[in-house]
A = this chain, B = another copy of it.
Amino acid sequence: MSLIVQKYGGTSVGNPDRIRNVARRILETQRSGNDIVAVVSAMSGVTDNLIKLARQVATSPVERELDMLLATGEQVTIALTAMAIHDLGGHAVSLTGAQAGILTDSVHTRAKIAQLLPKPIHSLLAAGNIVIVAGFQGKTSEGQVTTLGRGGSDLTAIALAAAIQADLCQIFTDVDGVYTCDPRIVKNARKIAEISYDEMLEMASLGSKVMQARSVEFAKKFGVVFEVRSTFNEERGTLVKEATDSMEKVVIRGVSVDRNQAKVTITQVPDKPGTASRIFNQIAAINVNVDTIVQNVSEAGTTDISFTTHADELPKIEKYLDPVVQEIEAKGFTAKGGIAKLSVVGIGMRSHSGVAAKMFEILALAGINIQMISTSEIKISVIIDENRVDEGAKLVHAGFGPQMNLDQ
* A residues adjacent to B (C-beta < 8 A): 16, 19-20, 23, 50, 53-54, 56-62, 64-66, 68-69, 71-72, 75-76, 78-84, 86-87, 93-94, 96, 99, 143, 145
Enumerate 9 A-B pairs (CB-CB under 8 Å) in ascending A order.
A53-B80, A57-B80, A58-B87, A61-B86, A66-B79, A68-B75, A68-B94, A72-B79, A75-B75
Are B65 and A82 in contact, CB atoms less than 8 angstroms apart? yes
Residues of chain B contacted by A96 (CB below 8 angstroms): 68, 145
Q: A68-B94, A69-B79, A69-B80 are in contact. Are A57 and B143 (CB under 8 A)?
A: no
Give chain B nearest CB distance to A44 CB in angstroms: 14
Residues of chain B contacted by A76 (CB below 8 angstroms): 50, 53, 69, 72
Are A57 and B94 in contact, CB atoms less than 8 angstroms apart? no
Q: A65-B86, A68-B78 are in contact. Are A57 and B19 (CB under 8 A)?
A: yes
Bound Cα distance from A68 to B132, whole angstroms: 12
Among B20, B60, B61, B72, the residue within 8 A (CB) of A57 is B20
Q: Which 9 A-B pairs have the closest CB atoms?
A: A16-B56, A69-B79, A58-B87, A72-B72, A68-B79, A58-B83, A57-B84, A62-B86, A65-B79
Residues of chain B contacted by A75 (CB below 8 angstroms): 68-69, 71-72, 75
Chain B residue at smallest Cβ distance from A17: B56
Are B99 and A83 in contact, CB atoms less than 8 angstroms apart? no
Bound Cα distance from A50 to B79, whole angstroms: 10
Residues of chain B contacted by A66 (CB below 8 angstroms): 79, 83
Chain B residue at smallest Cβ distance from A84: B57
The interface centre, meaning the residue of A56, A57, A64, A94 with most chain B CB atoms within 10 A of its CB, is A57
Chain B residue at smallest Cβ distance from A60: B87
Are B93 and A57 in contact, CB atoms less than 8 angstroms apart? no
Give chain B nearest CB distance to A372 CB in angstroms: 43
Residues of chain B contacted by A143 (CB below 8 angstroms): 99
Q: A71-B75, A72-B72 are in contact. Are A62 and B83 (CB under 8 A)?
A: yes
The interface centre, meaning the residue of A50, A59, A75, A78 with most chain B CB atoms within 10 A of its CB, is A75
Residues of chain B contacted by A80 (CB below 8 angstroms): 53-54, 57, 65, 69
Are A82 and B62 in contact, CB atoms less than 8 angstroms apart? yes
Chain B residue at smallest Cβ distance from A15: B56
Give chain B nearest CB distance to A186 CB in angstroms: 39
Residues of chain B contacted by A23 (CB below 8 angstroms): 57
Chain B residue at smallest Cβ distance from A59: B87
Residues of chain B contacted by A56 (CB below 8 angstroms): 16
Are A84 and B58 in contact, CB atoms less than 8 angstroms apart? yes
Give chain B nearest CB distance to A229 CB in angstroms: 23
Bound Cα distance from A350 to B388, whole angstroms: 92
Give chain B nearest CB distance to A324 CB in angstroms: 32
Chain B residue at smallest Cβ distance from A16: B56
Residues of chain B contacted by A53 (CB below 8 angstroms): 16, 76, 80
